[in-house]
Structure 1
Amino acid sequence: MKDEKKAPKLRFKGFTDDWEQCKLKNKAEIVRGASPRPISNPKWFDDNSNVGWLRISDVTEQRGRIHHLSQRISKAGQSKTRVITEPHLLLSIAATVGSPVINYVNTGVHDGFLIFLNPTFDKEFMFQWLLMFKPYWNKYGQPGSQVNLNSDIVGNQSVAFPTMSEQERIADFFSKLDTAITLHEEKERQLERLKSALLQKMFADKSGYPAVRFKGFNEAWTNRKLGNYFDYEQPTPYIVTNTNYSDEYNTPVLTAGQSFILGYTNEDIGLKCATYKEPVIIFDDFTTSTHLVTFPFKVKSSAMKILTLTQKNDSMYFGYTSLQNIKYKPLNHERQWISIFSKIKIGIPISKIEERKIGNLFERIDHLDNYYQQKIERLNSIKQSLLQKMFI
């Protein structure tokens, strides 16, 4: 019987050769980094050194592609570690286990990483393969314990390799896809920085005047307590038992905390669970986070207040801006709206037109931010799918 063809499900046109199964130790010399001890001793580090010191936080922040390092290792420290001065492929074996790294700067590599020396594969191809394979390292850990990788385990891992020309083609494709993701992430970061700066400047300070405002408005703002603008409801008919959630259902179920949208339901599960329809502001009584909600929803948690405006003010202004601009860190686990937030004074424009313009501006910024988030999620989803299909 003819052997099954060794090829991925999806490949570029013009490539038909079988992929070669080979252990990683036959494709590179795999060695572990080294760390000076004790690592806390300041003599190992020198801000003026031209050799960086790679930490797992750098890997996370730079998405595995290291172009700069803030911490520098001294001459004494360099004698106690492995220093690399050319681009190298690395693999983390501590903290965030199994994260691949391509390092482009002079670096001292500590013992939480493996280094692939003198590889006979394309570094970018192998970087992407390691990203694809990262979840599978878990087989080397006991349930409930951390994965423990070493050079022998990694070196004995069998990998299918195509020809070098196909490796380079695959590597180039994923490199360009990563660049597109990075560009969208940078656009989102710039938008968040812009929003943060505008939140600081478009609201009145103690003088009663904002530093930046729309043309044609020059009146001083007034200060009033938030409690003068909102009625609040403590939801009591909320979903308290487990229910089946599905994206096929229509009504979202909201909860306190970062998750916010817990799921979607089409039932009241035997309770008189209210469905809120009007635009309201959700106030998390414990974390003090706020969400402007303009769609029908049901409530899962009682740890929130449903805020509705009592006057003809712009809901976008309050939901997108004013409440977000309050700098307050909860000191303990208590209900915050009645005891704290309702008594906080905030600046309010005299002109409803100015109020609406500010609300509309931040609404547009948030919509654009959501667009970039969805774009990034979509590109990452596409990449994960392609990683599974373009490697064996």
Structure 2
Amino acid sequence: MDSNRAAILDGLKAYEPELIAIRRDIHRHPETGFEEKRTAAIVAERLRSWGIEVVEGIARTGVVGTLKGARPGQRSIGLRADLDALNIKETAGRDYCSTIPGKMHACGHDGHTAMLLGAARYLAGRPDFAGQIHFIFQPAEEGLGGGRLMIEDGLFERFPVDAVYGMHNAPGLPVGTFASRKGPFLAASDIWTVRFRGTGGHGGAGAHLATDTTLALAQFVTAIQTIVSRNVQATEIAVVSVGHLAAGDFDAHNIIPAEAVVRGTSRSYKAEVRNLVQRRVSELAQACAATFGCRAEVGYDQLFPALVTHAEQTDVSLAAARALAGESKVIADAPLVTGSEDFAFMLEARPGGFMLIGNGVEADGGARQLHTPDYDFNDEILTLGSAYWVCLAHEELD
């Protein structure tokens, strides 16, 4: 396998300057969910130029390229990358910094797209496999459920697969390292909004006449910290975090606001824990509102399910990683990740696996984390990620 690994890496190395150019071009022109028209057009044009059959417009801006192997075979697999960026202002300094104000590729989807394109090009030029591969480029992974919408748009009816695979970069994991696990891997992701309503009033002369929404909000923010510590069983995992607070007007310092809003996220791995957290968020909001004579309106949306990998396909993906990187560079029982991924929808629909690829460690031992203004995908792993996809295709279709 060493000679095969070297041949794959050498073949892909020849494309590396092009992959870097594609990645950085996409980085300069970030597009958020369902707006990825330019990115999708780049993907479609490249796939067609390599002789790959292309279908566009799946779930609005999704693209699927289909490549048939040179050898006969009925098995079919899907390899998936995501296209969208985030609403974050990028830290200046790179010569390929975002040119779109307030938007950037802060999660590495530009790199994911480039890696899958690299694999598509390599396999199109060396289709020595049996069956077919669907290269799935998904829109709107960041909170908008593009994976679910692709499925609803007939993804797996139009492009049947026996297995589907995803991959994500992991800051803090050394370059050359791969990690996966069987069963629950990434968390379910929910968002919630609580709107406290009261009378408001004059903060000086009329405080005793007001129902104060800020008190209800303050008590609620403290109270929800008990959900994980006192309601969720100690052997289970959940996270409840506040991400947004709003009340009153900055210039109205002597006005008690009649409305206060708090928003946040919850993470979990099991349906019973997820439902418990949802129930307690609502109960605590109502109780805190009632305590201070206010009303509470609660909205709770279960966005993404937990990402649960399948045992057989995880073994295949781990075998591909070992063939490429060696046993010592592959973590087969990675820790649970409380981040979420809407690839979970695809794993609910079809068997498959999910792999983390190391994005590197900074000199001080830290890493530029996902969803932060100074994050950047590491171009050093483009060839390695493409090679993983190629090895996975051979594991599945040889």
Whether the TM-score (by the shorter chain) exceeds 0.5 is no
So what's the TM-score if we normalise by structure 2?
Answer: 0.25
Structure number with greater Rg is 1
More strand by share: 2
- Between 1 and 2, higher relative CO (CA 8 Å, sep ≥ 6) is seen in 2
So what's the TM-score if we normalise by structure 1?
Answer: 0.25
More helix by share: 2
